[in-house]
Structure formats: C-alpha cells, structure tokens
Amino acid sequence: MARPYFQFKQFLVFHDRCAMKVGTDGVLLGAWVDTTNLNSVLDIGTGCGLLALMLAQRSEARVDAVEMNESAAEQANENIARSPWATRIDIHHTTVQEFGLRTSRRYDLLIANPPYFSDSFKAEGVARNQARHSDTLSPTDLLAAAAALLLPSGRFALIYPTGQAESLLEQALAEGWFCRRKLLVHPRSDKPVHRILLELTREPTTCVEATLVIETEKRHEYTAEYAALTKDFYLRF
C-alpha cells in the first residue's frame, strides 16, 4: 500500500485525502521558479500545499494558496500547520476566480501546476476529475486570473505537457504576455520533451530557454542537473 505522505528534507506532506498526489511536475516547478525579490505568492490549486511549502522554503514571501476541493484544502492546512512556515502561508478554500473577486491583493508571483486533460476519458470521482481535467480551470481562466492578480512587474509560472504548454504560450503571447523563461524537460536522455515549464510576465523581455533531462538511459539513475535543481527538497540527493 502506498504511503499516505511524502517526506522532504525540511517538511512532510500528507496527500492521501488529495485527488492528485505529490509528483515530479510539482517538485520541478517549485524548485525551478525564480524567487528573486519575492515578497508575495499566490499558489493556484494548491492540492496538498506542496508548491506553497516549497516557495516558503525558498523565500521570505507571504504565500496565499487557493484550493477548491474541501478535503484537499483541509489537508493542505494540516500540512502547513506542521511546517516551519505556518505563519507565512494561508490556505483559502475557494476557486481562484472567486478569490480574485473578493481580494484586493496583488502578487509578485502566481504559480500553478494546473489540470490539463480535456476531451478525454474521465476517471470516476469528482475530486480526481477536477484535479486532472481543465474543465474547471482552463488556460483562459488561468491567464485571466493572472492578469487580474499579478503586480505589473509580476510573474506567472506553470507547468504543462508539451502540447498544452505550446498552446497556452501561443494564447498568452496573443494576449500581451511575454515569455521570460522556458524549460524543456525530457524524462530520459533518450526520450522527447514531455513537460514544459513557463514563466510569463507582462513586461517586454527576452525568453531564456533551457533543457533538463531527469534520468539517464537507466531507470532511477538521475542526471547531475536534475539532482542539482531538486537537492534542497529530495532526500535522495
């Protein structure tokens, strides 16, 4: 039976009451995003609170996190309460759309590991569908929320599978966003890109593009670059 928690170097995350568990995508995004001069963060769809905790570890920022699923929001609150950064993180049981209507706050950084399945077979269970499928949080919703909630100099960071990332980036550029950073992720050195991390901004800029390989040709043999990126979190490095 799978463990109900995931142990990181500085915090412990229980995720058994969350539809989507701790995974490589979230850890990659939380470790990669730029935290320079970061004072305020909004984590969209926090789930168990992973990204909120990672950003609190990597910065001195105040972190708000929204989660629409009640069980996940409760578990995120419990994970935050036992962490070293409980006084800097607030979990809000709501959607980002509703949160945007009731807050006047504006953020240096919005971050999201969003749902990305659409027009595909849906698993049983409302919570898992909401976590996996973009019906409730589409790229259009995300870009609208970011436009409303970011400071003028703020950044929006997210991770998507390759096709969805390119589609979102095309939409974002058409709506006046600029790509600040882009990371192309290969699961193995002999496999094609399967994830793209993006950092968007409203300010004109030149996009810095890089590539990351997670594993060598051998299963569970990790590259030095991947180890360097995630070493502050994973126990194995």
Q: Give the chain's domain count.
A: 1
Q: Report the relative pairing of strands 178-188 and 195-201 from DSSP bridges.
A: antiparallel
pLDDT per residue as tens digits for the range 68-88: 999 999 999 999 999 999 999
User: Using one digit for the tens of pLDDT, what is the confidence trace for 104-128?
Assistant: 999 999 999 998 744 444 445 444 4
* 210: pLDDT strictly greater than 70: yes
Q: 154-179 burial, b for 16+ CB within 10 Å, e for fewer?
A: bbbbbbbeeebbeebbeebeeeebeb
> Tell me: the pLDDT tens digits for 143-186?
999 999 999 999 999 999 999 999 999 999 999 999 999 999 99
pLDDT at 79: 98
Mention every residue, 6+ apart, whose C-beta is less than 8 A from residue 137.
Answer: 44, 45, 95, 96, 114, 115
Report d(CA 52, CA 55) in Å as an integer: 5
In the numeric block, which tokens belong to residue 101?
Answer: 């209507």
Is 122 domain-assigned?
Answer: yes
The pair of structure tokens assigned to 167 is 């589609």
| In contact, 88 and 62? CB cutoff 8 Å | yes
Task: Judge whether 131 lies within some domain.
Answer: yes
Does the residue 185 lie in any domain?
Answer: yes
**CATH code, domain with 96:** 3.40.50.150
42 within 8 A of 107, measured Cβ to Cβ: yes
Residue 5 binned pLDDT confidence (cut-offs 50, 70, 90): very high
Asked whether residue 236 is assigned to any structural domain, the reply reads no
Residue 235 belongs to a domain: no
Q: What residues pair up with 201 in beta bridges, in sequence order?
A: 155, 178
The answer as to whether 61 is a domain residue is: yes
Q: Do residues 41 and 109 lie in contact, with contact meaning Cβ atoms separated by under 8 Å?
A: yes
pTM recorded for the entire structure: 0.91
Cα dist. 7→12, 15, 179, 181, 227 in Å? Answer: 5, 11, 33, 29, 17
Q: How is the chain split among helix, strand and coil, in percent rounded to 5?
A: 35, 30, 40
Mean pLDDT for 129-152 is: 79
The whole-angstrom separation of Cα 114 and Cα 146 is 13
pLDDT, tens only, 35-70: 999 999 999 999 999 999 999 999 999 999 999 999
Q: Per-residue DSSP letters for 131-174?
A: HHBTTSS-HHHHHHHHHHHEEEEEEEEEEEEHHHHHHHHHHHHH
**Residue 94, domain extent:** 5-230
pLDDT band with cut points at 50, 70 and 90 for residue 20: confident
